[in-house]
Structure 1
Amino acid sequence: MMERELSGTDLCLIMSNGVVDREAYQSLYYLYQPIIGVKALGLYQTFWSEMIPGKTKSQYISHAELGTLLGFSVDEFKEELFKLEGIGLIRTFEAKQAAYRYVYQIRVPLAPNTFLNDGVLSSLLFYRVGEIRFRALQNRFRTDPLPKNVVDRTVRFDQVFDVKAGLASAHQPKSYAKQERAAYEFDYSFDLEEMKRQTDRFLPRSFYTKSIDHLLLKLAYVTQSNEALMAELLNARFRHEAYLPMTDSEKQERCKQMMLSAKQKLSREKKAKVAVLEEVEVGELSETETMEGTHPKHYVAKLRKVKALSERDEELIQQLIIDYEMSSGIVNAAYYYALVIKKDNRFSKNFLLSIVDDWKQKGYVTAAEALAKTKEQDELISKKQDQKQERSRQTVGGRRGRSNATGPNPKWLQEEKEKQQQYEATKKADFEAEVPDDEEMERILRELKGK
């Protein structure tokens, strides 16, 4: 048994990564319990009972309180906890510089089919319950196969839906959906069916929905991934979660994160693509035709004069195409406007997003339209600023040299001015009267010399 320091006074926080449904309870009682025992199962259920209603976490609770609920000592608590960790029902994290010491993440049990298809878990269950009980459990959770001598008549996705037009409208708002732009916005050579066949071993077909298909096509276009690589990433990310209850929005978010965090798996692809980036012919970067007809990864790489895009640029391009639903031409034009026209050397992400958001609200369709309208707007703003500065200069200059430009002074002001002038004249006369003249000055000097 691995050593870990546990104290009854340690505070812990309990969190969950999902919701236990009826199928998960079936797995717990029939498949997990024979392996971990009733004590460990009781600890697992106690963890769940501590969750705040409507939340995915608990209040702070100590090991001593949990042990009291179950009648466990600290050693018994540790032993049963390790069983839950070992089988994958609990993940334990040690917190640093926090009010609590441990975080226990409750994991949703594997679906029965996934559990029984796992070589290690199914072998351990077979050893614990014996062959007869194991076969009975297999029969209990076995799905009936299709009858023999049947032919699959299901039509393919592209036979029912207009892939180019349909996906283009899903990729963009209606104002952006133009048929002539669809040729380069997506890589329509990406074969969804081929990718799905490569994931059949791990993922059920029910995992895929229309929205997931659309998203995977977009991600394949943005990252320039082929069917084999996309299938490898999906298998690695969802093989243990495909049977868990997940909404489409949760699947979509995890697919996006999967592509952003797949640096190691994409590295060997990138090494081959760095050379390809150098070979891709990119026209004059200032031409709107180049912006419209070039993939953002190639265009931005040439614009930045680099061989491979940074992780920040890759994430930004994915966000603009997937979340903002912008076309390649608009994305390239936004980069050109920020880096060349505005010369944003530090390249603020918020500045770029504000540009795209403004263009989207104004309904700009092409790169040429967006840049032309924005140029007109910038010129108008610059003209207004110049006029404002000119008015400010005229106002300040006028105040300096202004005399009676506004008309004659009021009567009371003139009277006050005359009184002030008379007072100054009187003071001057008195002062001059007190100053001795030349004769008086000579007399004074003679008296001083005589002394």
Structure 2
Amino acid sequence: MPHHWKELLAVDRYMVQSRTALHDADRKVLTMLYQPLIGHRALALYMTLWGELELLGGREATHHRLMALMQCGLPDIYSERLKLEGIGLLNTYVHAPEAEEPKQFVYELRPPLAPDQFFRDEMLGVFLYRQVGRHMFAQLNDCFACPVVDETKFTLVTRAFSDVFSSVHAEQIVAGFNEEAGRELEPPDGKVHMGRDEASYALDDGVFDFELFFAGLSKQMVPRRAVTAKVKEAIKKLAFLYGIPPLEMQKIFF
């Protein structure tokens, strides 16, 4: 890990943005599912940046402000930022002027995974189990679950959109919705509409030696094209999570 002072100074400026809408339900997921993995300081940084997103409204501030808000030093902010980046909760962008001027950072908050995605994830669910133990994991699992309704005992009566809303005649559309009005549906210049794109993380290819792995596989039994990008990602997760070397992974793969 590089020294923080090579990457970040207190006078460097930052702004916070999010291309997705963050909800109150996300706070529960962050606190109960992510906090055991990233620790309370990384969670505090995320929540502080969330507050800055609402308070600053896209304006810039220096990292002195962040240090004062969190009552901690720049090394802590930098190291906790890396945790948020690694687990997919934060994208960081930097603009470094050529002259000796302060850098400009953009911290883009990413929403957490939905509970069902979190528990299905090959790595996050196992990491959480390791961190909190069997008993608490069972409690968390139950906390984020909801009862299943036997739909076979009921009749679906939900109305379709066309059953509730009347259609508009073509001439009314032409008269009331011209090209200029259509442009008003687009976001203002320099802005984009918020969406909902859950957090994602990726493992570096360096965590697993695929050349050594493929060298010991029979091309007739396992052609390389069968190892798709999705399969490779699953292999990397297994290797990282359980410390499985390439030669041992060959035996598992067969």
Q: Deviations over 1:320-356 (max 9, x none)?
A: xxxxxxxxxxxxxxxxxxxxxxxxxxxxxxxxxxxxx
1:142 is paired with a residue whose SS is coil
Structure-2 separation of matches of 1:63 and 1:45: 16
Offset of 1:146 from its aligned partner?
1.6
- Show the counterpart of 2:171: 175
Q: Structure 1 stretches of 5 or more lacking a match? A: 178-236, 242-451
Matches within 5 A, 1:356-375: none
Closer, same or farther: CA 74–173 of 1 in aligned 2, 3 Å: same
- Show the counterpart of 2:24: 22
Q: Deviations over 1:403-443 (max 9, x none)?
A: xxxxxxxxxxxxxxxxxxxxxxxxxxxxxxxxxxxxxxxxx
Give the structure, 1 or 2, with the largest relative contact order (CA under 8 Å, sep 6 or more): 2
Q: Does 1:134 align with 2:134?
A: no
Offset of 1:134 from its aligned partner?
0.8
Offset of 1:2 from its aligned partner?
5.8
Q: TM-score, normalised by structure 2?
A: 0.56
Offset of 1:176 from its aligned partner?
7.7
Query: Is the contact made by 2:112 and 2:198 (CA closer than 8 Å) also made in structure 1?
Result: no
Q: Which amino acid aligns with 1:31?
A: L
Offset of 1:17 from its aligned partner?
3.0
Which structure is larger by alpha-carbon Rg, 1 or 2?
Answer: 1
Say which of 146, 168, 171 aligns to 1:143.
Answer: 146
Query: Is the contact made by 1:114 and 1:240 (CA closer than 8 Å) also made in structure 2?
Result: no
Say which of 198, 203, 222 aligns to 1:240.
Answer: 198
Q: Which amino acid aligns with 1:35?
A: L
Offset of 1:132 from its aligned partner?
1.2
Offset of 1:174 from its aligned partner?
3.4
Query: Is the contact made by 2:10 and 2:74 (CA closer than 8 Å) also made in structure 1?
Result: yes
Query: Is the contact made by 2:12 and 2:102 (CA closer than 8 Å) also made in structure 1?
Result: no
Matches within 5 A, 1:87-236: 87-95=87-95, 101-147=104-150, 150-151=152-153, 153-154=155-156, 173-175=169-171
Query: Is the contact made by 1:92 and 1:104 (CA closer than 8 Å) also made in structure 2?
Result: yes
Query: Is the contact made by 1:88 and 1:107 (CA closer than 8 Å) also made in structure 2?
Result: yes
Query: Is the contact made by 2:15 and 2:59 (CA closer than 8 Å) also made in structure 1?
Result: yes
Query: Is the contact made by 2:11 and 2:63 (CA closer than 8 Å) also made in structure 1?
Result: yes
Offset of 1:100 from its aligned partner?
5.1
Structure-2 separation of matches of 1:106 and 1:135: 29
Closer, same or farther: CA 153–66 of 1 in aligned 2, 3 Å: same
Matches within 5 A, 1:49-448: 49-53=51-55, 57-95=57-95, 101-147=104-150, 150-151=152-153, 153-154=155-156, 173-175=169-171, 240=198
Q: CA RMSD in A?
A: 3.5
Identity score, percent: 29
Q: Structure 2 stretches of 5 or more lacking a match? A: 174-194, 200-254
Q: Deviations over 1:359-399 (max 9, x none)?
A: xxxxxxxxxxxxxxxxxxxxxxxxxxxxxxxxxxxxxxxxx
Number of aligned residue pairs: give it: 173
Structure-1 separation of matches of 2:149 and 2:54: 44
Structure-2 separation of matches of 1:240 and 1:22: 15
Q: Does 1:7 align with 2:3?
A: no
Query: Is the contact made by 1:20 and 1:109 (CA closer than 8 Å) also made in structure 2?
Result: no
Q: TM-score, normalised by structure 1?
A: 0.33
Offset of 1:238 from its aligned partner?
6.7
